Amino acid sequence: MLAKKIKVLIVDDSALMRKVLKEILMTDKEIEVVGTARDGEDAIEKVRLYEPDVVTMDINMPVMDGLTSMQYILNSYPDIQIIMISSLTADGAITTFEALELGAFDYVAKPSGTVSANLYVVGKEIIQKIKLAYTSANKNNLRERANRYKINVIKKLKEQRSKIETINYEVSKVVVIGVSTGGPGTLMEILPDLPSDLEAAVIIIQHMPPSFTNSFAQRLNRVCQIPISEAKAGDILQNGRGYLGPGGYHLVVRGQNGLIRLPTSPVTVYMPSVNITMESVLNTYGGNKVVGVLLTGMGDDGADAMVKIRKAGGITIAEDESTAVVFGMPREAIERGGAEIVLPSYKIADAIVKAVRSN
């Protein structure tokens, strides 16, 4: 039981959504809904009035949208945690990723559009993320990462190199990156710094709804030096390319030619599962060709596989607590002995390059 209740402000232009969200949150004795707001401008006023711990923020609203409102709030009240409540659309996904890069803690996807009367189906997830934001968020790093993003994103876009579409079926090494809560912003710090001539295939496993992964892959592809796409069944791993695991499937690699398969079993808490992907790559290529990377996220997905990779002679890298938005997955890998190298997020790209170039 928490020492005090978590004060939550609900922001949504739909009266129905405000009502449903309030009903969901009132089922938990550790949460207090201190107020509601009908648009982004109203949200700024209500934050001043109620001083909430956490804000649930709709994205598409009149007068002032959620993204703009969020930036005003975080600039004035940097300790408040914001959870975006977004629609399962391509536009909703893109705005959500931008919000995460600018300092939002996490997001929850509405199950059926902007006005989702069935929001109750994700009620448990909303409550869980509010509590996680209040108890476990790395507030300092969220602020620092947002500042780094604002400074670097335009530079990265301007310096974007033309992606060389050469085919190289001889995969030298495979880098498998596992990440969950806080992942989109963290990946935007790491992946753009991987060079276009990287002699490794890069597999990214981000816990994310199925309708979001394609938009996220496109967003990564625009700012990265290596081409990145949502993985498809039948793709073959190539050096200097990135493959984002699609939501709702596992990504496994079969055969020495690196053929990607996307099974839907076994059913696990997270699909794709970091453990399943890392183990399939390890079984296919052997430890000396694998680099395992585990970043921010709650739970322990990937920790056991990191131990196996390290024991088999692979190189393993975990994100340090100083930058992890939620120090769950990397902590589990470290405590189990699965992390050979522990670094803050902004040093991980260089560590990946060094690991790929090592013999």
| Catalytic center residues | 180, 207, 301
Please give the Cα distance from 310 to 312 (Å, whole number): 5
Burial of 295 per CB tally in 10 Å (0-12, 13-18, 19+): buried
Rg over alpha carbons for the chain, rounded to the nearest Å, is: 20
- In one letter, which amino acid is 171? V
